[in-house]
Amino acid sequence: MFLAFEGADGAGKSTQVQLLAEYLERQGREVLICREPGGTELGEKLRGILLDPDSGDMGPEAEVLLFMAARAQLCSRVIRPALEAGKVVISDRFLWSSVVYQGIVGGLGIEEVLSIGRVATGGLLPELTFLIDLDPAVSHSSLDEGDRMERRGLDFQREVREGFAGLVADFSDSFALIDGSGSVEQVHEQVIKALPQKQS
Ligand code: TYD
């Protein structure tokens, strides 16, 4: 079982990843958590480059390929072996992030990014992705601080939110839309309710 969380920066994904992992462990499942970009030695180095404000100007083409390189390594070295060992894998972001950030907001195109993604992942996609939807005006408190991605500001985060909303409409079978505006516990409740039947 492969699950992922998506959403604009600061939507509370990592807390929810942790809570879901604890819930599934209480059900007796072995759970592996990973985050993108990262999760391997190479992936963490690429993460450093991608988030470093000193990396300077980076076009969406170079950017998507760096994210995909990290993803390819994570898939082949970590996610696939864990799934084969019968674990539940929960990823904090996955391919849909590239589709939104580089494909829609960055302008590369949805199909183009999905197509590079098929090479990077060998066709592996989460069975379900929880999209935590939250108004960036609420989640994005400091616009001038933070890493290279977070410095892009509120308008960028709004485009990201709209991009994800469009994807959920077009690929509704792949997503569970979660209202991120409630308390941590309320959001977690929605996640549990949306779990594929065999897990809940
Ligand atoms: P991170 O600090 O992990 O952010 P968050 O806590 O919001 O997940 O930084 C990841 C940043 O990289 C985030 O701004 C989203 C962006 N990103 C992409 O642009 N494309 C991608 O494929 C991925 C995985 C992330």
Asked whether residue 143 is domain-assigned, the answer is yes
Does the CB atom of residue 6 touch ligand 1 within 6 A? no
* Domain total of the chain: 1
Does the CB atom of residue 121 touch ligand 1 within 6 A? no
Asked whether residue 142 is domain-assigned, the answer is yes
Place of tokens 């696939």: 80
Its domain, for residue 14, covers 2-194
**Which residue's CA is the nearest one to ligand 1's atom 1?**
9
pLDDT tens track, the chain, 200 positions: 999 999 988 888 999 999 999 999 999 999 999 999 999 999 999 999 999 999 999 999 999 999 999 999 999 999 999 999 999 999 999 999 999 999 999 999 999 999 999 999 999 999 999 999 999 988 765 445 678 877 788 899 999 999 999 999 999 999 999 999 999 999 999 999 999 986 55
What's the CA-to-centroid distance between 6 and ligand 1, angstroms?
Answer: 9
CATH number of domain containing 101: 3.40.50.300
Does the CB atom of residue 97 touch ligand 1 within 6 A? yes
Mutate to test the pocket of ligand 1, among 149, 156, 157 (most ligand atoms within 8 A of CB): 149
Atom of ligand 1 nearest to the CA of 150: 14
Cβ contact 133:164 at 8 Å: yes
Which stretches of the chain are DSSP H helices? 13-26, 41-51, 60-74, 80-84, 95-98, 110-121, 136-139, 153-170, 184-194
Whether the predicted model's global pTM rises above the 0.85 cut: yes
Distance (Å) of CA 91 to CA 33, 143, 158: 6, 26, 23
Asked whether residue 170 is domain-assigned, the answer is yes
Mutate to test the pocket of ligand 1, among 97, 154, 167 (most ligand atoms within 8 A of CB): 97
Asked whether residue 72 is domain-assigned, the answer is yes
Asked whether residue 199 is domain-assigned, the answer is no
Distance (Å) of CA 190 to CA 40, 93, 122: 30, 18, 31
Reported as type and span, the H/E element at residue 134 is: none
Asked whether residue 200 is domain-assigned, the answer is no
Asked whether residue 151 is domain-assigned, the answer is yes
Q: Residue 189's pLDDT is what?
A: 98
Asked whether residue 18 is domain-assigned, the answer is yes
| Per-residue pLDDT reduced to its tens digit, 79-135 | 999 999 999 999 999 999 999 999 999 999 999 999 999 999 999 999 999 999 999
Does the CB atom of residue 149 touch ligand 1 within 6 A? yes
